[in-house]
Amino acid sequence: MKMGILACGPMAETFARTLIQMEEAECYAVASRSLSRAEAFAREYGFTKAYGSYEALCEDPEVELVYIATPHSCHYENMELCIRHKKPVLCEKAFTINAGEARKIMELAEQEQVFVAEAIWTRYMSSRQMIREVVDSGIIGKVSVLTANLSYPISGKERIMRPELAGGALLDIGVYGLNFALMHFGTDIERVESSVRMTDTGVDAMESITLFFKDGRMAVLTHDIYSRSDRKGIFYGEKGYIVVENINNPRSIAVYDTEDRLLKQMDVPEQISGYEYEVRECIEAIRAGVMESSSMPLSDSVRVMEIMDRLRKQWGMVYPREIL
């Protein structure tokens, strides 16, 4: 399938390196607001076409799937452009800046009958099913609590610190913690509680989020932009606990009993980068005439945005373009 990429940043580079190693995908077109940058990217990664505008790429009849690697503050307008040109879309997380935008994209995709999916890569990885099977096996008995953390020292990045770019920890890395909890505990949430520390620029820097589920289970999530955490996800049960190494790209799953003895350990299979799973699923869905991903349906993208909206409301955090 002929792939198009919007933007030429680090994520796009990793994505391109992944495509090169996939038989199912062809590095066809790349676009940037700077034609020279797009041309340099195309030369380096072997793309056939380079465009100096996103509009030009969308007008190319050969493009079969567009990967959007722009900042999340641009996702809504970029997805709208692709959908109106009938181009299937795989858009980076966070899907949009709020649930209202996400719902509009879902409605537009349905109206235009165009495939759209959020590229939250952990949803598509083989590790997701591996984790589910271990938890559901009953090896640690009934699971009551899940904890997950994800923090990186990224406060020096402009897109993180600027409210007008929908910055902050939540939409950039908190989205992984939320997805980890929802993937394994479901979406039937009773209430959400949180605490936050804001930056001087007005975005969230550190947060602790507790999701209370109607079945009595609880998920506790922490994220921040100043430190490097261990990135672990842990399930606690009656007979022990399960440790997932790196919720952002799981590498192994270990099971311990109540005496902290290792009962079982599984390594996640080798992968190109992790991006290949979402690409394959999108290609298969498009070829089958399906309008959304089974691993990350648009209703789930909307649900995640609704939770993040609720959290930002608790914090009194509003992005400039939301003020009308």
Residues marked as catalytic: 93
Angle at 232 between CA 183 and CA 301, to 5 degrees: 30
User: Is the bond into 94 cis (omega within 30 degrees of 0)?
Assistant: yes
* E strand or H helix at 315: helix 298-315
DSSP type of residue 24? T
- Alpha-carbon span 26 to 204, nearest angstrom: 39
Q: CB of 250 within 8 A of CB of 58?
A: no
Angle at 195 between CA 172 and CA 217, to 5 degrees: 90
- Alpha-carbon span 248 to 266, nearest angstrom: 17
Q: CB of 146 within 8 A of CB of 181?
A: yes
The three-state secondary structure class of 126 is: helix
DSSP 84-95: HTT--EEEESS-
Neighbouring C-alpha atoms within 13 Å toward the C-beta of 63: 28
Neighbouring C-alpha atoms within 13 Å toward the C-beta of 204: 29
Which residues share a beta bridge with 2?
A: 26
Q: How far is CA 98 from the centre of its chain?
A: 14
Q: Which residue has 């020096």 as its token pair?
A: 156
